[in-house]
Amino acid sequence: MAALRGRDTLKSDSKNRNPGRPCGVPGLYLPQRHMQAGVLFGSQEESKNHMTDRQLLIPYELTSDQCVALKNTFSPLRLGKYLVSSGFNVSKAIDLYRWNAFVGECLHFPIQTTEIAVRNCVHAAITKQFGVNWYEAQDFIAALTPESISDLDTAKRRLRNRLDKFVADDVVATMSLGFWVSILDPRYYQLIWRHEFRSSFPNLPPKRAFKSIHMRARDILSLRNRVAHHEPLIGRDLSLEHTNIIEFISWICPETSEWARRHSFVPEALRQRP
């Protein structure tokens, strides 16, 4: 399997070649120049300068003994989808498994950006309607589903166990993405979103209904959970899902969306599928 070098061709330079450091996936390295401060999260000009220095999935040849060992470690059941997809070639299945971990790691960045954008957006909307202590507002809590009430109670209990006093920012950081996505459900339109819909998602296309926000956020949550639980991503249209993530962020903030798009490694990772 040949390792691709990103959007542009990277010229050979033996003096500057540096394997970087491991990223937690066998054969996957982050080039050393990406370790320098300001490159991954730097300015637009820095992004242009380093566009050719993208993540690489390093080829890794397995011996027959390694194939047997890894198959036993991961279990034939867990490798099942990869074996089917690779024609029951164990070496190719493990290579595909490795790529699955690689693309999942790459998806983490745009998903993380989405999660932060969503929770801040929803938090701001709730605060406008119920005040800074919305997490104690009985009219808000009474409208929640039992699952959301349980999530909120669990978060507050954990905070009380750790802190003498906590504020809204502590609650926001403790709540899961699932909670914030649940607040985007159309059931809360009259309570929250009829006042905050357009100001919270100012760049949502006019023809799109509010429910499309919840549907898109729910899809991203589903993908996020698959990545977090190390589930197979093969068979999914990850290119479309990545595009949808970037578009969703743009509904909240186009500048943040463009920043996430420019620094996402997902397109390169998809092109490196074995």
Averaged pLDDT for residues 32-44: 39
Per-residue CA distances from 241 to 6, 111, 179, 185, 272 (Å): 20, 11, 21, 20, 17
d(CA 77, CA 143): 43
Averaged pLDDT for residues 193-222: 95
Averaged pLDDT for residues 192-216: 94
In the chain, % of residues over pLDDT 90: 76
- pLDDT digits over 145-195, tens only? 999 999 999 999 999 999 999 999 999 999 999 999 999 999 999 999 999
Averaged pLDDT for residues 95-108: 95
8 has pLDDT over 80: no
The vertex-203 CA angle with 202 and 204, nearest 5°, equals 100
Q: Which residue has the higher pLDDT, 35 or 206?
A: 206
What is the pLDDT, as a whole number, of residue 56?
64
Pick from 58-62, 72-76, 157-161, 208-212: least confident: 58-62
What is the pLDDT, as a whole number, of residue 21?
36
Tell whether pTM > 0.75.
yes
43 has pLDDT over 60: no
d(CA 89, CA 77): 15
Which residue type does 202 have? P
Averaged pLDDT for residues 201-228: 96
Averaged pLDDT for residues 107-131: 97
What is the pLDDT, as a whole number, of residue 169?
95
- pLDDT digits over 231-246, tens only? 999 999 999 999 999 9
d(CA 223, CA 215): 13
